[in-house]
Amino acid sequence: MQRLALSLALLMIAGAAVAQTPSNEQAPSPMYPAPPPLKAPEVDKGAPVGNLTSPLAADQTKPTQTKIDSEAEAQLFLYATKMSWGRYSKIKGAKPGTAVVTKQGPLWTIKGKLESVAPGTEGDWASIDGVVERIEAGKVQIRGEVAFRVAKIMNGAPCKVAGTMHFRRSGKSQVWRLVEGDNPCDGTQEQFDLIHDKPAEKKPVPAQGKRT
């Protein structure tokens, strides 16, 4: 009788040992039928990320000289001293903005701002800041940015057109219009113009002889 009891006890211990899962493995579950590996597979490390050069770096080099293919166009553009903003230009009381074209050695730059004063648009503005890369007949290429601030768009945050921009005029017009003039925030064609406005030259008054 004692032998039978001892045999039964040994069988129960052996069964429990078989039922136990090794400590280094996870028991299968309905959600994960196969136990995950104890160690993730090793992967080769990539090249170090230091001292990398952007593929756009060459294109971002600041121009050092304005390429002039048309001297007549250049002389006309030198006096592009006014700005017009089509969004508000037809509102009574609208006024043009001012721009300045500057020669910095062989490189030309342009800066300008238009503060809107038309009724209901106070506080809105448009601006330009860039370097003139190229001047051709009827075309001016500028790298920089044109910004538009409209109170009702993007809570008044400036919406910018940046990069290489193209201004074109046609025929005898003395107005260059921004080709990429769509506002990136609402899609409106802003009709942003630079306008030639050379001051009138004062002719010298001829000296009058003394009367006798």
DSSP conformational letter for 114: E
Picking from 137, 132, 165, the residue whose alpha carbon sits closest to that of residue 64 is 132
Picking from 168, 167, 185, the residue whose alpha carbon sits closest to that of residue 87 is 185
Amino acid in position 180: E
- Cα–Cα distance between 134 and 200 in angstroms, integer? 27
Q: Residue 198's pLDDT is what?
A: 86
Higher pLDDT, 105 or 60: 105
Percent share of the chain, pLDDT over 70:
67
Would you place residue 147 in the very low, low, confident or very high pLDDT band (cuts 50, 70, 90)?
very high
Higher pLDDT, 19 or 8: 8
**pLDDT tens digit sequence for 170-181:** 999 999 999 999
Q: Kindly compute the dihedral angle of the four CA atoms of residues 110, 111, 115, 121, in this order, to the nearest 10 degrees.
A: 70
Predicted TM-score (pTM) above 0.85: no
Q: Residue 162's pLDDT is what?
A: 93
Paired with 84 in beta bridges are 193
Q: Residue 177's pLDDT is what?
A: 98
- Cα–Cα distance between 122 and 111 in angstroms, integer? 21
- Cα–Cα distance between 211 and 95 in angstroms, integer? 48
Amino acid in position 81: T
Residue 98, number of CB atoms within 10 A of its CB: 14
Residue 77 parent element (H or E)? helix 71-77
**pLDDT tens digit sequence for 83-130:** 999 999 999 999 999 999 999 999 999 999 999 998 999 999 999 999
Find the mean pLDDT for residues 171-200.
94
Q: Residue 55's pLDDT is what?
A: 46
Picking from 137, 103, 112, 91, the residue whose alpha carbon sits closest to that of residue 195 is 112
- Domain limits, the chain: 61-196
Q: Residue 67's pLDDT is what?
A: 97
Q: What is the mean pLDDT of the chain?
A: 82
Picking from 140, 209, 154, 210, the residue whose alpha carbon sits closest to that of residue 184 is 154
Residue 156: pLDDT above 70?
Answer: yes
